[in-house]
Amino acid sequence: MPQVIGQIGNTNFAVVGLGLHGNQIGSVRQQVHDGDTLVVRAEGNFGVRMLGIDAAEISFSLPGSKAYTPIHKTEWAEFLDNPFATRWKPFDPALPNGLKASLRARCKPNTAANHAMHAQKAQQALEAMILADMEALQQDEQTFRFFIVFCNEVMDRYGRFLGFINRFQEGENNKRPLSYNDRLVQQAIVTPYFIWPNINPFRKIAPQKAVIPPFQAPQKADEDKLLREARLAIRQARKQKIGIFDPAEPLKLLPFELRFLARRQPPDRWVIDLGKQDDVLIRPENYYTIQNIEDRLFIPQEYIPLFVEQGWRKQVL
């Protein structure tokens, strides 16, 4: 079945049909609410991008290609062995030497195989969680449904829902488990990836009012239970040396690093260090200087003026 949301050139589109009226598709008269509103239903599949996490990529497009190639393929091993070789399209603007050195230290002949292994583990873990929930609720593929909680932005530019996803269950007395996002983080199968304002503390607050005051990032991060527990889970996993921190096979290259290397585009989100009480917006290309991945709060470029207005300082070159 095709995607509900598609794209032709730079134009996004959706394919929908008349909505349901009871258990059947309604008539035009039933589904036209007034002169500017009608009820429709999706005609196809939606993608869901789970917020707060970033899993290793199963496949991605190599430089200069639009086709998705599995990361375990030889082509990826060749690329990640030396992503700065002259055969590849140069970055524009060029990556600074510090970031290049950080990436070079982790790009080795086995980096692609390492990434593919972690991607497979994350995929299998999520599948197992969903199947376990089906069994717990005594449901199957036909009756099982998902429950999605949205944050500030409901969809991304690819037409995917953005949210925290869980099993759907009825009845107030039936306590729902943690979202799949949080369960994966707790097992350190994925990396934390907090992108403002689509993070738990600010779900119900307009961006203008959700800006973290300067010098208060650690306190604000600790005030929210889910964010606090996600960061604590990563710290504990690091101490226990499990998941992406397994010393036998730690994740070498972060998923978003693989993506920007392949796209030949420098990172473009500014960063706040949740572990420091300061007022510095760290430049996108310096994200790696924040040692612990759970302390990185990424800020899209379009929101930076809001932070500057509240007293944050942009890091200078």
Instruction: Give the DSSP per-residue string, 122-189.
Output: HHHHHHHHHHHHHHHHT--TTT--EEEEEEEEEE-TTSEEEEEEEE----TTS-----HHHHHHHTTS
* Average pLDDT per block of 10 residues along the chain, 317 residues long: 64 79 91 84 84 96 95 97 95 95 96 97 96 93 89 82 89 79 95 88 65 94 88 97 97 98 97 97 98 97 96 94
HSE-CB of 22 using CA atoms within 13 angstroms: 4
The domain ranges of the chain are 1-45, 48-212+239-265
Q: Rg for the chain (alpha carbons), in Å? A: 21
Structure token pair of residue 220: 């604000």
pLDDT given for residue 40 in this prediction: 85
pLDDT given for residue 2 in this prediction: 58
pLDDT given for residue 202 in this prediction: 43
pLDDT given for residue 118 in this prediction: 97
pLDDT given for residue 151 in this prediction: 82
Q: Which residue type occupies 119?
A: A
- What angle do helix axes 74-81 and 111-137 make, rounded to 10 degrees? 130
| CA 209 – CA 198 distance, rounded (Å) | 14
pLDDT given for residue 6 in this prediction: 66
The neighbouring-strand residues paired with 194 are 297
Structure token pair of residue 22: 């009871």
pLDDT given for residue 243 in this prediction: 97
Show the beta-strand stretches assigned E in the chain: 5-8, 11-14, 16-18, 20-21, 24-25, 32-34, 37-38, 40-42, 47-50, 52-54, 59-61, 68-70, 146-155, 160-167, 191-195, 270-273, 280-281, 296-299, 313-314
| CA 275 – CA 290 distance, rounded (Å) | 9
Which among 303, 308, 273 is positioned nearest to 287, based on CA atoms?
Answer: 273
Which among 163, 135, 189 is positioned nearest to 46, based on CA atoms?
Answer: 163
